[in-house]
Amino acid sequence: MPDTIRTFIAIELPSDITAHISDVQKRLKTFGFKMRWVRPENIHLTLKFLGDINKADIEKVGNAMTHAVKECTPLSLAAKGIGVFPGIKRARVIWTGLKGDIHPLIELQKNLEGNLEGIGFPKEKRPFKGHLTLARAKGNMDPQKLLDAINEIGNSESETFFADKVILFKSELKPTGAVYTKLMSADFMTSP
């Protein structure tokens, strides 16, 4: 059995934000989409999916996280709107976007990506787009129904929250859904 674990780096969401997301999901469910809905408590802002890593690399990943956040002050963010990947005609994922300190969030992700590349983790080919995944499609989705949902729910917005640390999570895929365990975290600076 290989000594690897499936991992990703993310920002955890506070409970009032997951409650808002749960409400958005309930509203989306009224449209009858055939989706695998992400449990609200499992929704997070992924900065980098690492996949399977050697347990021996956890400390190196932790150091890369610490260096990425060393000059980062807490980010003010809010969940806002509804979108789909890759597009409305072939939607596979429904997500909610973010507003607030988006440029510093992108810079943080870029720093993290660069630090991780330096220890052997390849850079993403697609540009980073901060989002919170709400659901994944089980089949084809009706584009018109999706547009109706986006028009009806697309202006929803959560309260502001502050992101002040990044967390390395272990992800175990189970029949009942993914189980996430925190392995380590790196705190942002408290003041500039």
Mean pLDDT of the chain: 93
Q: What is the pLDDT of residue 173?
A: 86
Given 20, 44, 67, 103, the catalytic residue = 44
pLDDT of residue 38: 93
pTM of the model: 0.92
Query: Which residues in the chain come in under a pLDDT of 70?
Result: 1-2, 191-192
At residue 1, the pLDDT reads 42
Structure tokens that stand for 166 in this block: 């990044």
Tokens 């697309």 label which residue?
154
For residue 156, what pLDDT is reported?
93
Q: What is the pLDDT of residues 29-75, one digit of tens each?
A: 999 999 999 999 999 999 999 999 999 999 999 999 999 999 899 99
Domains along the chain? 4-186 (3.90.1140.10)
Q: How far is C-alpha 165 from the chain's CA centre?
A: 14
CA distance 94 to 150: 10
The answer to whether 67 is a known catalytic residue is no
For residue 2, the model assigns a pLDDT of: 63
Task: Give yes or no for a contact between 61 and 168, defined as CB atoms under 8 angstroms apart.
Answer: yes
